[in-house]
Each structure stands twice: as C-alpha cells, then as structure tokens.
Copies of this chain bind each other. A is one copy, B any other.
C-alpha cells in the first residue's frame, strides 16, 4: 500500500467520510509538493473510496503538478471563495454530504473548521489526522534516516563554520551571518530554526536569540543550529570554550556532558522516553543543578524540528527502532552561563545512531 492507500484504509476502518489535510508538512508527505501559502488555503482532501484531490492557490497549480502530484489539483483565485470550490469538488466524489470529518486538529485554525460548517452544516469533526500523522511519522524508514543523516552532516559543517568565526569583539550576530552565508554558498538555503549563537550569560536564556553583543574571551559560547535537507531537519547544539572560562562554567559543562553522553548511550529498543529523560535529569540533579535544567531532554525530529516522541517525564512510550529524536540536556544559570549539548539520533536494533559527529568533548578556541 502506498501512503494514500494507507490513509484511505484508516478512513474506511474508522467510518470517516473525508480527511482534510491542511498542514504543509502533511501535504508534502502525501504529494511531494512543498509549499507554504501562508494565509491562502491549501488542502489535500482524501476519501475512503474516491480519488483524492489537492487544492492550492491558482498560482501554485503548475508547480504542484511539476513536483510529481499526478492526481487532480484544483486552484482558486484570490477573489474567489475557496471553500465554495472545495465543496463542489467534494460533491463530485460523494453521493451524500460528508458528515464524519477527519481534520488536522493540531494545525487547522478554527476559522477553517467554521468555513466547512458553512457548506456542510451537519459535519462532525470526529477524526484527528494530526494523531494519525504523529503515529505514521514516528518510525522513520531507512531512506528517511539517510536524509536525517545528510541534514546532520550539514549541521556539522555549520559548527565548523561557526567555530572558525569566533574572534574577540565579533558579535554573536556576525557569527550567525558567517554560518548562514557559508551554508548558502553550499546550497543549503534553509535552516530548521533561527541559528543560535550565545556567549557567556546570554546563553542562560535558552530560547533567546543572538545579540549584537561582542563575544568575550574566557566565556563559554553556545551554538544551536539546524538545516533542512530535502524537507528533513537537523538540530544540534554544542557549547565551546573561548579562552579559559571560569571554573563554574567548566563544571556545569562537565555535568551536562555526562548527562548527555549517559542518556544517549542508554538509548535502545525497549527503554521508555521517560527513562531516558530521567537518566539525564538525575545526573544533573545529583550534581546540584536540577533547578537549572528547565526543559525536557529531547523532542522528535523528521520533517519538522519538533515532533514526536517527546523525551520527557510522563511519556512511557517504549522506544523502537526507527524513532528519531534529540538528546539535549542543558544547564542555565542566570547571570553566569548556559550550556546545552545536543545530538539527534535514530534508535537502531541495538542502540542508537547519531546524525551529528562534531566532538562533544569541550573544544577550546583561542
């Protein structure tokens, strides 16, 4: 069964009349067509016993066909009512108005659900395609893992660019510029999120961005970055020493590294996501820094940077070969320093395979 046949089977099994996929990542998964029409309407409509159709803004009709989608595609112009056109094409495929809908509840805005209700007032939104996609995407195929490895190699290259760019007085933002320029010159046009370079105490704000702050010697510098390779994402973090950081900074690095290495070494089929989180967290707690590790140990990765499984307390999911996720403990002491060390890995038959290979031993840059 191909991907479309599998979701059709799921619709049949659950007595759903129709599935409406609106998330560009899901649409790409089924059609091979990558787009993000922002506020314009995008949809893949799948039926248990009729041909699916793709619906895009008119100016994307040709591109979607060129990308390899060989079923019907319909477009709409900006001044037209997209849901009126969608309804018409739905009724070309069904004898009765669809009642039991499966929608992507994690991404479909309420307004679009209401647009459906205008045309099909008896609709019930009983199925959740988001959950179907989560499950479908949880175990990666060998081909997908190869793409994640390729993305990981790009992240390794990005680290090398970043480490080379470190120089006293250069700002965090200038280092980001060197990384992204170097990537683009190799044809890597998209990062999976805004590249993070943070020196010293700035790094204690784990979701902050790079500032116009000049880098200072004798501090730690945190890098968190990722690229997009044929739709698959990398995400990795390294923290390096510029000169001779304080004893405190070196101590939290050591603790964080032990947590990262131990948790990553524990990954194998049969262990749970929560157990991996606990291994990393216990090491940091025991060293006295538990209160400074304020996020989960990891998140899934694939065609999005944050997907399932979550490596966190309470997630008793048993790891299986093909699951892919980050292991990224961090210690953030406000006003002092922040450390995060992160690889993304795939679970193998016996342990795990890392997508990035930049050394995790503390790198000293002079």
Contacts and interface: CB of A to CB of B under 8 A. Distances in A.
B109 A108 contact: yes
B184 A173 contact: yes
A108 B128 CA distance: 16
B109 A207 contact: no
Contacts of A88: none
Interface in A175-206: 176-177, 180-181, 184-185, 187, 189-190, 194, 205-206
Interface stretch (A142-150, A305-313, A343-351): A305-313
Contacts of A312: 78-79
Given A79-B296, A111-B106, A207 B177 contact: no
16 contacts: A58-B294, A58-B295, A59-B294, A59-B295, A63-B205, A63-B208, A78-B310, A78-B313, A108-B109, A173-B184, A173-B189, A174-B185, A177-B184, A180-B180, A189-B194, A190-B194
Contact of A181 (B58, B177, B205, B315): B177
A82 interface: no
A58 B291 CA distance: 12
B105 A110 contact: yes
A79 B314 contact: yes
A53 B77 CA distance: 40
B206 A59 contact: yes
- Point out which of A110, A295, A305, A334 has the most chain B C-beta atoms below 10 A from its C-beta: A110
Contacts of A361: none
A292 B312 CA distance: 52
B110 A114 contact: no
A105 B109 CA distance: 6
A62 interface: yes
Interface of A: 35, 37-39, 57-60, 62-63, 77-79, 103, 105-111, 113-114, 125, 128, 130, 173-174, 176-177, 180-181, 184-185, 187, 189-190, 194, 205-210, 212, 294-296, 305-306, 310, 312-315, 332, 334
A57 to B, nearest CB: 8
A258 B189 CA distance: 34
Contacts of A108: 109-110
A332 B39 CA distance: 22
A230 to B, nearest CB: 13
A310 B306 CA distance: 33
A38 B193 CA distance: 10
A176 B108 CA distance: 32
A180 B210 CA distance: 16
Contacts of A173: 184, 187, 189
A123 B181 CA distance: 50
- Point out which of A63, A205, A207 has the most chain B C-beta atoms below 10 A from its C-beta: A207
B106 A109 contact: yes
A210 B38 CA distance: 18
Contacts of A315: 79
A164 to B, nearest CB: 15
A180 B178 CA distance: 11
Given A62-B334, A173-B187, A130 B111 contact: yes
Contact of A77 (B63, B107, B180, B294): B294
A207 B110 contact: no
Contacts of A177: 181, 184-185
Given A177-B184, A181-B181, 8 more contacts: A63-B207, A79-B313, A79-B314, A110-B113, A110-B125, A177-B181, A181-B184, A189-B194
